Amino acid sequence: MATGAASAVQVTRTATPRTFASDGVADRFMRRLFGITTIDERSGRGAHRAFRISVFFSGIRCLITYLLIPVLVPVLSLAGWVAAPIGLLLCAVAVVNGVVSVRRFWRADHRQRWMYTIFMGVVFVVLAVALFSDLTRLGAIA
Asked whether 101 and 116 are in contact (CB, 8 A), the reply is yes
| Cβ partners under 8 Å of residue 49, min gap 6 | 101
Give the pLDDT score at 130.
Answer: 83
Q: What are phi and psi for residue 47, nearest 5 degrees? A: -65, -45
Residue-wise pLDDT tens digits, 8-54: 555 444 455 678 888 889 999 999 999 998 888 777 777 777 778 87
C-alpha–C-alpha distance, residues 124 and 53, integer Å: 14
pTM of the model: 0.66
Q: Where are the alpha helices (DSSP H) in 1-142?
A: 25-33, 43-63, 69-76, 83-107, 113-138
Residue 124 to residue 58: CA distance in whole angstroms:
10
The yes-or-no verdict on residue 118 having pLDDT over 90 is yes
Measured CA to CA, the distance from residue 126 to residue 21 in angstroms comes to 30
Q: What is the mean pLDDT of residues 104-112?
A: 87
pLDDT in tens, 56-84: 877 887 787 777 767 766 665 555 566 67
